[in-house]
Every structure is written in C-alpha cells, then in structure tokens.
Structure 1
Amino acid sequence: MIEVDVDAELARALLVQQHPDLAHLPLHGRTFGWDNLTWRLGEDLALRFPVRETSSTLVEREQRWLPVLAARLPVPVPRPVRDGRPGHGYPWAWSVVPWLPGTPVAATPVADRTGWATELADALAALHRPAPPDAPTNPYRGVPLAQRHEVMASRLTEAVPHVAALRDALEAGLAAPAWDRDPVWVHGDPHPGNLVAAGGHLTGLIDFGDLCSGDPASDLATAWMTFDAAGRAAFVARTQEAHRWDAATWVRARAWAVSYVPVLLAHPEEYPLMAAVGRHTAAQVAAA
C-alpha cells in the first residue's frame, strides 16, 4: 500500500529545507495509517506525510479547510501549523501538525468509551453544519447510498461475520428516504482509529483527509463502529438534542457502518486494530 516511504533521513532533510527552525527537534514514534505516515517531532508536534498518490490530495484538503473549521469544534484537531511542499524526491504536500496526546480509541476497551460518547456527539454535531458551495466533495463519503450500493453489496461475501444481518441493514439503508437537505460538513472517517482519548475524555479527532460536504449519515456510522449499546444510546441521544435527525438518517448511518466492515477486515495482519473494529462493528449492527 505504501508507494513512497519517508524515513528519518528524508523527514529531516525536508525540515532543514523548508522549516529549519524545527529541524533540531528529535524525530521519533513513526506510525502508519491507511493513507499517511506520521513522525512525532519533539514533544508537541508531528509530521504528516501521504504515502500513496491516490491519497496525496488529502493533506491539501486539511491544509485548506481545517483552519476554517477548527475553531468551531469542541475537541482538539490536528490543524496544520506549517505547510510542507514536495522536495528531496518526495512528491507531495505534507504538514506539520500539533501532537494530540492520548491513546487511539481503537486500542481501548469498548466499554470505557461510553464515558465520552456525548463528547464525540458534541464534536460531530458542531461539525455537521451547512457547508459552503466551495466545500470539497467526496465520491466515497456523504453521498447517496445508491451511488455506492453495488460496491458495498459486492464486498459482503460469506467470509464477513454476521453477513446476513449486514446485508439486511444495507438494504434497509438503501430503501430509506435519501438526504434531502442542504449538504453539511462531513468528517468522512470518524472511526476508532481516528479518535484519541485520555483520562476518560475524548482528546482528539484526527485525519480529516476525507473531509467533504453531504449527508452526515456516513459519519454517524461511528455509533456502531465505536460504541457498544450503552455508548451508542448516549451518542444518539446527545446527537438528537443538537440536530433531531429523522429516523431515516439513522437507518442510513447503520448501512454506512455495514459498508466499512469488509474494508476494515481486509488486512488483519497489517492492521489488526482495524480488523478488530470491523468485527466489533459487524457484531453491533447484527445486535441492533
């Protein structure tokens, strides 16, 4: 999946070239996600690099829009503090971002997440406000389920756990009334790998590379991806206090949760935490 790696030598060279005042800080703790790798820089910063051409524009989207959105969100986000450009053979834009302390939620016990379920609800409710006409669009998030149904259904093979229940939930989402309001801002990927928690609180909402405008149901799928029944009830209740989404929105959200399951399960050895999220999501959809 990685097309261009960024080792410590290359990261340091880019800093020296473009942000020399930061080049003395130690580089440590390199981690990989689906589309990016991150080097921690000193104690308070991090470097975020796309590793594939297909994801290379996602950092540019964060650089453009997170400065606009960060102030309205009640949870810390990695708003870029410096922009990076291609150099030393590295071909894409990259960012210097704040380091958000805490533990990735995918690595925490599910039951422990209920305590901050309302905090995530508040964060997404603050984000899910009308988006401007020039907001980015995304063919994979925030769109009508009908546009993605064929691909989603084709991935629900017999190897997927609880596949019968997942197929039923997907078909219910397709049959539900579509989003008919003005498009709102959509994070695009608020699964447990993109949430950070510490001390019983949500301390970060990260990875806005899929940020777009459209139907918030693809974000609300996190109710099944992140929480158990108790956490989901708290999340949904708090969300409804803010927006009073109709029942169809939650039916679509459950269908979106289904769509993520086979993707999360695709690389269990390379991404074991994401595979665990996929199994959890399948079980929660089947139990709901």
Structure 2
Amino acid sequence: MAQAAIITVKCQSRPGIIAAFSQAVVECDGDIKDINQFNDRMQDRYFMRMACTVRPEHMSLLSRRLESVAGRLGAYHHLRERQRPVRTLIMTSRFDHCLNDLLYRWRNGELPMMQPVGVVSNHPLSVACSRVHLGDIPFHHLPVTEDGRAEREEALRGIMEESGAELLVLARYMQVFSDRFVRDVEGRCINIHRSFLPGFRGQEPYRQASLRGVKLIGATAHYVTADLDEGPIIEQDIEPITHSDTIEDLVRKGRDIERRVLARAVRYHLDGRVFLNDDRTVVFPD
C-alpha cells in the first residue's frame, strides 16, 4: 500500500526546483498529489510543499534522492511520513476552552497528525482541567513561584525530552518564558493571543479593545519569540462587535475565535504548511 508523505523545500529562488524534486519522486515510483509554491521576490526565496505517495519500501530511496537534489540546489528540505503523528505537548492555565477544543478535534479525527503526549499547567489538575477529559494523557503541574522560573523551565525541558515532544502548544498558557528557552523551541512553539495582532498586545486585550471602541475583535496564533506577542503570525480571525457589547461579551465571543484560530494554526503546522520567513510566515492553507 502506498504511503503518504510531505516534502517541504526552502531555498533561493531559481529555475527548475519543482522539476528536480518532482523527478526524484517519479524515480521512486511515487505519485504527486498536490504542490503549493511561493516565490518571495523581495527576499529572493522560494517555498514549496509537495504531497505525494510512495511505497514503504521506496521511502529510504526517496530520502536519498531528495538529499541529492537539495545538495545540488542548495536547498533546505524535509521529508515527513504523514501517518507518523507529531508528538505534541499542550500547556494551559486556568482557561481550558482551547485545550478542550484541541483534544476534541484530535479525538474526532480533525487533527490526525497530532499525538498529545501531555498537558502542562501552572495550576493543579482540579483547576486547569476541571471540565477536560484527559483520559490517558499525562498531566504535569509546574507551579509558579517568585524566583522559580529557571527551575520550572528546566522541569519543562525534562517533560519534553521524556515525552519526545516535537511541538509545544500554548493553549492560553499565561506565563512568559525566558529568552533562552524560547530560542530552544524556535519554530516549534505556537501561542494563541486574544487580539488581532499587532493591536492590543500584553494583558487584558479585550478591555483595551472595549476602551478603544473597536468594531472588530480577533485572535492571533503565532510562533513564540523573545519579543512578547511579536512572533511570526500563522493564523488570524475576527468577529464584529458593537457599542453595546460589554467586556464579558467580548471575552465570550473571543473564546470562540481563539479556539478556531489555534486549531487551524496547529493543523497547518502539523501538515507542513507553515514556513518561517524571517519575522513572517508563508502559509499554504488546506
């Protein structure tokens, strides 16, 4: 039976990139199902995502052919087998709606590429997950202390290493990481912010929005960087509001936006649809 795979490519723009990587797939008796590409002319960079199927016995041969092509073109590339889910660690605080939504979508098959390997919170289980069914998913409580950030991050590193986590999702985790930790998880840590960035950064964005009398509120999923709420944006969405909406109304409406924006961002990342491009991203929606 053919095995589905995703090939992602990032390199300097030049002719013949699609042809070269397509030829590698064809030479391994593979079947190309879909190709997305983008040429960033300002940065002279080329991005490509290729979905294909290959027989399992030809996967190692395909890997070698792709290495050869990438070396010849000076390209960064990655080959991932689609049936191998990405081991994902989810962090949350007191608000569980994003965590609940991700686990629901995973269980009903909307996020087949995600394999939850643990939930981490700065609050105990009874507070962080009182309405969440974790099942066999391990829960880890890392309490916040006045001078304990280094110890907390070291414990988190241990959880990630022990669980083999490849992706860290901050599902309304309301704590800030050190610059060192952020550098270590660059490009594999996704956060959901309660605002249509770059507007209303930091704390209480819905209160800020209400005071400014805006007519739209939104949410933003982005990669975490050392600059708070300024990481490369993956996905955003908005919803109209009126002068009669209270701050509580904005929070309620905002939770719906947060859930769907984070879920889409996680799905795009898992499916190899997101490329870092300096402070921006290239995203190929499904």
- Taking structure 1 as the reference length, the TM-score comes to 0.28
Choose between structure 1 and 2: higher strand proportion.
Answer: 2
Larger helix share, 1 or 2? 1
Structure of larger gyration radius: 2
TM-score, normalising length from structure 2? Answer: 0.28
